[in-house]
Chain A
């Protein structure tokens, strides 16, 4: 199939985001921007260490602070830094903060579990997987065996807008605002907490500043705000500060990934043993790693262990389990290729399971200049800079799911598109508007898009890259109904037998004999003030999905004296099915690449080994990529199929990035950094190790 260099999109929409002006002028109101009269402020009392028991508290002093309504400690022992032990509710932020300080907790600290490599069950003590004999046979059948272990760190979500909720309970109903990835999940959770029917909770999340998987349901914030609002019969707001965000909103768990694989001389992977470990909170799981995946690994005997640590527990994070897996997998692919002296791209072609990605390999290799790649890196300037190239892959599923869209047409020509789902920054609002406007054939100025409220038709939670995928077919369907209805009226007006031969373009309806009618005029043919067209089925607008395949190529320079990695260029080829709006599609790809780069090079939740307290719960010591760290990124919108539907885009482009960067760095310095993040310290240590060897 093909891709187009100019990234033109199927619907020819090249407009900026619908809410662009609101966002850049501050007019867009997020949950944290809402203040109600007599609003209460509440927050959690938290554990300061990894595993600690309260030994001193000044609850009375905290209660004595003017404006404090409630101070309660429910648990004596916390199992991670940020663990919730109780709460304070007060009439003002000042009173809340002063009460927190007055409480002046002291703890008795136990030695915490902070390191996955220390706490895991070692490989040789794990139960052998059921199919170990088959895997051993595959290894024996191989010409070469390659063995390595890789490690990835914990990454926090770092949503731009903190988690928060504002709940206003009114006895038999409630209004609420929340920062969420799930309008309806949040509403239903609040309804349960308030013991109200869902229909009596009016929930609003018109603008949301990121979630990345950490904002489903009302969460700890919504629950506390609801409880306090109900108890004190006043609106209550719970919004986390940045430190709480870093400690206790979930994370991408860390991993250890051991691989022993056998390959043939021709580069075919036969199989072997893969053991993974994921770092999770003090109880519960969630540390899964998607290794193996994407490539055909033959017969694999696989095991996974979740390792409990005294750190904040994981939560789903953009492509949960995938980027960390591909870090290990791509490095392992390069290692195996090197072992038999095969070009890493060729080695991937041999073991690739997707035909689309094989085509992407060719296109991307040409764009990045793969032929410049040299084993051991390219010496750029007879100085300390070495250049390397790397490649990585990803994809995503495209199943079907529930959603409804309503399109309202008013007699004055205004068209409204309604769906209750939230736009967490992805551009969902723009996608919905563009589908409806383009399918009907009217301009954006004639369209209003209303989303992010529980009174609108049902929309899915934004998890698993489903939002646009589920909603778009219904948007087409509802728009189609609206368009047909208006054309029917025009056909009657023009005394035609049917609507055949009628079309709408740029808000003008055209018919036989050069007849024309403005959209606005046509709408005046309606007998009612407003007509609604709803769709919850997909009809002909559900299309055979693509695999949302992704391939990324990276060019990176490494200063071998300082260990600093400078990523120069990333070419990101991404199949998205039907690309609706060029900006939002490119934006999702670019944003995912930046987040993947940041994970690979910088981000790291660091727990103090003596106390279990996180040493970097802020935005300067927890390092996140900034403008100068962002390379030239070329997003390529790939078309693998004629007439596709809107497919997954939020997650797939983050899957390949860290693996591709790690491979580029390894190529540049001639040895692999097996542990993320690739900081100067790590890179220098690996270079020194190579020199010693």
Chain B
């Protein structure tokens, strides 16, 4: 790890003010950032910790929806009765992330901004596109854990399994920066594909800090289904988060694309209809229809069908899994 200066923000204002300098990186729980620094994928001169800003840890109901502080840990999301009762889609994904130990430290904002787990990007031996190199190793290399949607020219998976739930709920992120009014950005517009921006996975600009998240609407029904190779200590290999807002279904897939993948074809099947076995199956087929698998990740196409169907059935209370 490269030596760095460690800054501790006293309050949010001070944090926002000192953030935005060149080569200062924000640290919340620090789980992801430290991994990147150890491998020298990130070599910041300074690290600004916001982890102690307890004002940014809350889950509360307000007039315009449920507000969640950016530093709320995944463990707290998992413990929340409010989320459990009314936002199953988010609750299930947060409660199942990683391990209890990770969830105690991992913050909601840090989870959304964690960098991809692509094994080329994460190992400095590979001068891949995302590492400012000139090639992507995925197409001709080992690609069983890479994207089947929206890939080229860089086939990463978005690593957060909470993000698809927020996209399904049409959540809104509150973003603040020095000398500017707080901005509101829809989760669905927050994440960007590699072809739009290679060196980031979202629209945050220098100096911008996520301070909170709003769930504007209580879904009529919702669920997340995640599949993992290992049941402990692992990221999903495929997930589906579904939510029925007003009458319309929103269906977002995880671990299949460089961003949480809102599946328009599946949503077109469901629209505002009640879930039946047949419809759920059709939605799964539709979701898988637009996939472009690589040499070794075709199994994810099958998994997309399964998770979409199962998530819809689970949301409708008809789930067998």
Find residues 348-382 in chain A having any chain B CB closer than 8 Å to their own CB: 381
B232 and A626 within 8 A (CB): yes
Of chain B, the residue at the smallest CB distance from A49 is B125
Contacts of B126 in A (CB 8 A): 608, 611, 613
User: A414 within 8 Å of B by Cβ?
Assistant: no
User: A692 within 8 Å of B by Cβ?
Assistant: no
User: B230 within 8 Å of A by Cβ?
Assistant: yes
Of B3, B99, B296, B299, the contact of A680 (CB 8 Å cutoff): B299
Whether A684 touches B302, Cβ cut-off 8 Å, given contacts A629-B230, A679-B229, is yes
Contacts of A608 in B (CB 8 A): 120, 126, 137, 141-142
Q: Annotate B289-312 by CB proximity to A: 1 below 8 A, 0 otherwise.
A: 000000011010011001000000
Separation of A581 and B267 alpha carbons in the complex (Å)? 61
Find residues 185-237 in chain B having any chain A CB closer than 8 Å to their own CB: 227-235, 237
Separation of A616 and B297 alpha carbons in the complex (Å)? 17
Contacts of B321 in A (CB 8 A): 383-384, 559
A615 and B232 within 8 A (CB): no
User: B40 within 8 Å of A by Cβ?
Assistant: yes
Task: Pick out which of these stretches binds chain B: A28-36, A202-210, A560-568.
Answer: A560-568
A101 and B40 within 8 A (CB): yes
B303 and A615 within 8 A (CB): no
Cβ of B246 to closest chain A Cβ, rounded Å: 31
Main secondary structure of the interface of B (DSSP, over half): loop
Separation of A627 and B99 alpha carbons in the complex (Å)? 10
Cβ of A553 to closest chain B Cβ, rounded Å: 22
Find residues 143-165 in chain B having any chain A CB closer than 8 Å to their own CB: 144-145
B233 and A94 within 8 A (CB): no
User: A97 within 8 Å of B by Cβ?
Assistant: yes
Of chain B, the residue at the smallest CB distance from A385 is B321
User: B2 within 8 Å of A by Cβ?
Assistant: yes
User: B320 within 8 Å of A by Cβ?
Assistant: yes
User: A609 within 8 Å of B by Cβ?
Assistant: yes
User: B46 within 8 Å of A by Cβ?
Assistant: no
Of B99, B296, B299, B320, the contact of A381 (CB 8 Å cutoff): B320
Contacts of B142 in A (CB 8 A): 606, 608-609, 615
User: A623 within 8 Å of B by Cβ?
Assistant: yes
B299 and A685 within 8 A (CB): yes
Separation of A101 and B40 alpha carbons in the complex (Å)? 9
Contacts of B299 in A (CB 8 A): 563, 680-681, 684-685
Whether A681 touches B232, Cβ cut-off 8 Å, given contacts A94-B3, A621-B119, is no
Contacts of A613 in B (CB 8 A): 123, 125-126
A626 and B234 within 8 A (CB): yes
User: B178 within 8 Å of A by Cβ?
Assistant: no
Find residues 101-139 in chain B having any chain A CB closer than 8 Å to their own CB: 117, 119-120, 122-123, 125-126, 137
Contacts of A384 in B (CB 8 A): 321
A616 and B227 within 8 A (CB): no
User: A118 within 8 Å of B by Cβ?
Assistant: no
A629 and B125 within 8 A (CB): no
Contacts of B303 in A (CB 8 A): 562, 680
Contacts of A684 in B (CB 8 A): 299, 302
Contacts of A602 in B (CB 8 A): 229-230
User: B140 within 8 Å of A by Cβ?
Assistant: yes
Cβ of B143 to closest chain A Cβ, rounded Å: 10
User: A628 within 8 Å of B by Cβ?
Assistant: yes
Find residues 237-285 in chain B having any chain A CB closer than 8 Å to their own CB: 237
B231 and A629 within 8 A (CB): yes
B233 and A626 within 8 A (CB): yes
User: A620 within 8 Å of B by Cβ?
Assistant: yes
- Count of chain A residues with Cβ under 8 Å from any Cβ of B? 42
A98 and B2 within 8 A (CB): yes
Contacts of B306 in A (CB 8 A): 561-562
Cβ of A558 to closest chain B Cβ, rounded Å: 13
Whether A620 touches B137, Cβ cut-off 8 Å, given contacts A608-B142, A626-B234, is no
Of A610, A618, A625, A681, the contact of B140 (CB 8 Å cutoff): A610
Cβ of B261 to closest chain A Cβ, rounded Å: 18
Separation of A611 and B126 alpha carbons in the complex (Å)? 9
Of chain A, the residue at the smallest CB distance from B319 is A383
Q: Annotate B1-40 by CB proximity to A: 1 below 8 A, 0 otherwise.
A: 1110000000000000000000000000000000000001
Contacts of B117 in A (CB 8 A): 620-621
Of A381, A615, A623, the contact of B120 (CB 8 Å cutoff): A615
Whether A620 touches B233, Cβ cut-off 8 Å, given contacts A562-B306, A680-B227, is yes
Of B2, B99, B144, B320, the contact of A101 (CB 8 Å cutoff): B2
Of chain B, the residue at the smallest CB distance from A47 is B125
Contacts of B40 in A (CB 8 A): 101
Contacts of B123 in A (CB 8 A): 613, 615, 617
Of chain A, the residue at the smallest CB distance from B234 is A623
Q: Annotate A621-662 by CB proximity to B: 1 below 8 A, 0 otherwise.
A: 101011111000000000000000000000000000000000
Contacts of A101 in B (CB 8 A): 2, 40
Separation of A609 and B137 alpha carbons in the complex (Å)? 10
User: A48 within 8 Å of B by Cβ?
Assistant: yes
Separation of A617 and B144 alpha carbons in the complex (Å)? 16
Q: Annotate A534-575 by CB proximity to B: 1 below 8 A, 0 otherwise.
A: 000000000000000000000000010111101000000000
Find residues 574-607 in chain A having any chain B CB closer than 8 Å to their own CB: 601-602, 606
A680 and B320 within 8 A (CB): no
Contacts of A621 in B (CB 8 A): 117, 119, 122, 145
User: A81 within 8 Å of B by Cβ?
Assistant: yes
A626 and B231 within 8 A (CB): yes
Whether A625 touches B230, Cβ cut-off 8 Å, given contacts A94-B3, A609-B142, A615-B142, is yes
A97 and B229 within 8 A (CB): no
Contacts of B229 in A (CB 8 A): 564, 601-602, 623, 679-680
Of chain A, the residue at the smallest CB distance from B99 is A626
Contacts of A616 in B (CB 8 A): 119
Separation of A681 and B119 alpha carbons in the complex (Å)? 18
B141 and A610 within 8 A (CB): yes
Separation of A621 and B121 alpha carbons in the complex (Å)? 13
Of B119, B125, B232, B296, the contact of A48 (CB 8 Å cutoff): B125
In this complex, the member of A81, A383, A618, A620 whose beta carbon has the largest number of chain B beta carbons within 10 angstroms is A620
Q: Annotate B68-107 by CB proximity to A: 1 below 8 A, 0 otherwise.
A: 0000000000000000000000000000000100000000
Contacts of B1 in A (CB 8 A): 97
B232 and A628 within 8 A (CB): yes
Separation of A135 and B304 alpha carbons in the complex (Å)? 49
B119 and A564 within 8 A (CB): no
Of chain B, the residue at the smallest CB distance from A615 is B119
Residues of B that sit less than 8 Å from A by CB: 1-3, 40, 99, 117, 119-120, 122-123, 125-126, 137, 140-142, 144-145, 227-235, 237, 296-297, 299, 302-303, 306, 320-321
7 contacts between A and B (CB under 8 A): A101-B40, A602-B230, A608-B137, A616-B119, A625-B230, A680-B299, A688-B302
Among all A-B residue pairs, the 9 with the closest Cβ atoms: A626-B232, A628-B231, A615-B119, A626-B233, A628-B232, A681-B299, A613-B125, A48-B125, A383-B320
